[in-house]
Amino acid sequence: MASTIFALSSGSPPSAIAVLRISGTESESALRQLTQKHSERFKPFRLFYTPIFDKEGRLLDRAMACFMKGPKTFTGEDSAELYVHGSRAVIDAVCATLADLEGLEPARAGEFTRRAFYNGKMNAAEVEALGDLINAQSEAQLRLSHAQSKVGEYLLPLREKLVRFRAKMEARIDFAEDLGDIEHTLDEEFKNDLDTLSSELRHFIRSANRGQLIRSGMSVALIGRPNVGKSSLMNRLAERDIAITSNISGTTRDCLEARLHLGKQLVTVIDTAGIRTDSNDPLEVEGIRRTLRRASEAHLIIL
């Protein structure tokens, strides 16, 4: 039997409200002990106001709480949530009390989502989309996370087509001697099916590559001779002074990066050392070498 787990599921404290999540067979029992409502049967999915106590009966906080009956929960298990005040002291005290309760243990990173996946509440695409949603820093990444959750709806029909195609091919091999005059017709049909499947798979791969670019953000390298305004452009795009600007050649010796929101897209802009072939300064030469390397890695180069 899986253990009952708990964790802070909201942002890092301090905050106005912190959400503590419990999942597993001992969720309701844990909630009874925290609220000292030992004989009460909680109404599922209904918030209630309650004091929260430690094992010695000392008041820790006054909070909202909710018991949720599985399988209609995020993990598919019995669950409970506590909405306490978001100070570090309150969160630490409540977590320490939960850790002292029999059958409860702190959740490992991602364990709530892992249980949701194993209990059939999420598919692999939805798990990945949830990670994208949590880490989204731009509107494009936010839209990607919602689109990613629908990938399963696209892949399931594609998988069914592949299974049917394989079955037809195996039948074609097993009964080759009985085909007679229709053999050529079947071969044309198989070719058309294969072309259609190949086209759909290529479209899916192209979409996945675009999604990866949105997920990681585009990198743009500013490349050019010394003193042509690369650092000034960097500062203008960032709307703050990131790079030192001067009329002296070779001011920028190393690559400087800034993550910016340009429109709805997250972009990493890279300011680089000016490129020239007549430098005898070893530091400037090293800067130029790094410039060329970063340029080869960037998605876009502005000359």
Q: What confidence tens digit (pLDDT) does each residue in 62-114 have?
A: 999 999 999 999 999 999 999 999 999 999 999 999 999 999 999 999 899 99
Supply the pLDDT for residue 139.
Answer: 67
Q: What is the pLDDT of residue 161?
A: 82
Say yes or no to pLDDT of 51 above 90: yes
pTM of the model: 0.59
Instruction: Please check whether residue 2 is in contact with residue 115, taking contact to mean a CB–CB distance below 8 angstroms.
Output: yes
Higher pLDDT, 160 or 75: 75
Q: What's the rounded mean pLDDT across residues 136-141?
A: 64
